[in-house]
Copies of this chain bind each other. A is one copy, B any other.
Amino acid sequence: MSRAQTARRKRANGVESWQRILDAAVEIAGERGYEGTSIAAVSAKCGLPASSIYWHFKNKDDLIAAVIERSFETWRAAVVLPGETAGTPLETPRALATNVAKSLVDAPDFLRLGLMLALERRPEEPRGRAVFLQVRDIVRDQVTETIRVLFPELDEDAVRILTSYAVAGIDGLFVQQEMTGEAVDLVTLFELHAQLVYEAAIRMATRSQV
């Protein structure tokens, strides 16, 4: 162990400040959206002066984008790691649904803030919105890939429709939970969703083979 690690705290520590700022920003932005997130509020919550925030981030846009990025990583870790031990392909959709549901109950900042940004339509779109949509496309591609692997006989159109429906369901169920505050049924609903998509895929595949 290096001695620097245990040296007196409170010393200027770039990484720690960076983390503290993001921790504060993720909380506020997750509550109030882009416009509602003021540098002053972030400063008050993290204890660092506003000018220090500007030392770490070029501007507010940059900060929000970083928030999205980091909270996406957090969420991805929560949803992917437990899934890596997933079993047979047939079980995967349901197990994945459960994982996704749980991850959204635990770390909802990513999706909440992202959706808020995505729903806005301001003249110059914030970089955070672009980052979210980009990151979202990655997830979407993974869903598409999964569907392709599970149902290779589906044509492109069907895959696209199913992907859209699958992802939209996630959003919708998440939104509902955020609105009603009940986390109770979320897992049930996600599993229902997974099952319905699965069956729809089977039927589509069958039909296209005819």
Contact = CB atoms under 8 A, between A and B. Distances in A.
B118 A178 contact: yes
| Residues of A contacting B: mostly | helix
Contact of A188 (B36, B161, B176, B179): B161
Contact of A175 (B31, B175, B189, B199): B175
Interface in A184-208: 185, 188-189, 192-193, 196, 199-200
Contacts of A164: 173, 176, 185, 189
A175 B168 contact: yes
Interface residues of A, number: 40
Contacts of A107: none
A169 interface: yes
A121 B29 CA distance: 10
Contacts of A32: 35, 120-122
B189 A200 contact: no
Interface of A: 30-36, 112, 115-116, 118-122, 133, 136, 160-161, 164-165, 167-173, 175-176, 178-179, 185, 188-189, 192-193, 196, 199-200
